[in-house]
Amino acid sequence: PQIAVSVYGPDFFGHDVVRGYGAVHIPFTPGRHKRIIPMFVPESTSTLQNFTSWFTGRRPEFTDPRVVAQGEGREVTRVRSQGFVTISFNVV
């Protein structure tokens, strides 16, 4: 099993935009586990699309959350690294 994380936040104009996506496998062994999830955000393919998305507040984002958890089809998607999220698990 894995957990997929989507992080959203306001931009300069107050629009709610995606700040990053990431996924990590959930550990099976009992105890406390800490995982660091590298986050990424989709990018526009051209400079014109980049400017238009910035101006309108409609930035590229995934419509299906399964895309984040699966590696299939993501190799053709242009993404940019966007920091890390730390998550703690308490497995019983």
Instruction: Check: pTM over 0.75? Answer yes or no.
Output: yes
Q: Residue 21 carries which side chain, given as an amino acid letter? A: Y
CA distances 69 to 11, 14, 31, 37, 40, Å, are 25, 28, 24, 12, 12
pLDDT at residue number 23: 92
CA distance 10 to 6: 14
Average pLDDT over residues 20-48: 90
Average pLDDT over residues 21-49: 89
- Let me know the angle formed at the C-alpha of 52 by 50 and 58, rounded to the nearest 5 degrees: 90
pLDDT at residue number 90: 93
Q: 85 pLDDT band (50/70/90 cuts)?
A: very high
pLDDT at residue number 74: 65
CA dihedral for 72, 76, 77, 78, sign (positive or negative): positive
